Amino acid sequence: MRRRIAFSGLLAFVAAIFLLPQLWLLSLSLKTKAGVSEYPPRWLPDAASLANYAFTLTRTQVPWYLWNSAVVAVTAAAVTMAAAIPAAYVLSRERFAGRRTLLAALLAAQMVSPVILLVPIYGVIERLGLIDTRSGLMLVYAAMQVPFTVWVLKNFFDAVPPSLFEAARLDGASRARTLWTIVLPIVAPGLGAAAVFNLAAYWSEFCLALVLLDSQERFTMPLGLFSFQSAYDTDWQLLAAASFIALVPVIAAFVFLQRFFVAGLTAGAVKG
């Protein structure tokens, strides 16, 4: 009993560490400009108001930033999954020359930070004529995230019992049909976990978007939040409101996909 209480207390402490910044952000977003600068700061403002949210959604380009981020994140995640699923399936079930080398190369590729590759990435995208386009950004996002996704999905494919593949082969099912009708439903939690990871990564990415996008109408949400800051005066209450708005889609996606996310993280923990 004591261990359970101690463990619950530890979890509550860790949750509070992650939750307090979001609560403080919410507090700032409900204050006036004068209330932001008051000292000592208050968690609960005297006159809480949603005026900052109304102004941000109607008088700024935040809705357009949200749309750009949604298009880029969802499309890049779909492209990533479309490329990673067959690659992970082949690497999991097939034995061919150079397989270990390819796996090692994928592992090494996912360890390289995109910041180190900013200059060559810019050169490639410029030659393709995709600078300052959402297509170029989505292409780079998918290319950078495919190695990680392949490794994640490969582990789920490895956990599928070989007897299922043998039964499908005896029934005359092709490899493509086996993957589509048998394997993918089994590893659906893993697909959901990988999709959530990718969506969160694409939604919050800043460096690549900063380098590859020039026009404000193509800015994603992180770049849009950056544009709220000024060298002389920053409306922190508006920035806080816009930042909290940016958190809502990520939280909503996790809430709707948490069943797949949690199942995906725990899949394979118990061997049947």
pLDDT score for 262? 55
State whether 191 and 109 are in the same domain. yes
Reported pTM: 0.84
Does 200 reside within a domain?
yes
261 & 181 share domain: yes
205 with 92, same domain? yes
Judge if 70 and 181 occupy the same domain. Answer: yes
218 contacts 133 by C-beta, under 8 angstroms: yes
- How far apart CA 270 and CA 260 sit, in angstroms, is 17
Which pLDDT does position 31 carry in this prediction? 87
Both 81 and 114 in one domain: the answer is yes
Percentage of the chain exceeding pLDDT 70:
93
- Tell me: do 21 and 121 sit in the same domain: no
Considering the domain architecture, whether residues 164 and 221 belong to the same structural domain is answered as yes
- 243-269 burial, b at 16+ Cβ within 10 Å, e below that, comes to bbbbeebbeebeeebeebbeebeebee
Count up the domains in the chain and report the number.
2
Query: Residue 203's closest CA among 108, 26, 68?
Result: 68
- Tens of pLDDT, residues 148-169: 899 889 988 888 888 887 887 7
The CATH number of residue 237's host domain is 1.10.3720.10
Residue 166 lies in a domain: yes
Same domain, 235 and 258: yes
Kindly tell me the burial class for residue 214, based on how many C-beta atoms sit within 10 Å of its own C-beta (0-12, 13-18, 19 or more). Answer: exposed
Say yes or no: 29 and 65 in one domain: no
One domain, residues 137 and 109: yes
The reply to whether 80 and 35 lie within a common domain is no
On the question of pLDDT at 271 being above 90, the answer is no
* Per-residue pLDDT at 16: 86
Domain that holds residue 6: 1-49
Same domain for 7 and 76, yes or no, is no
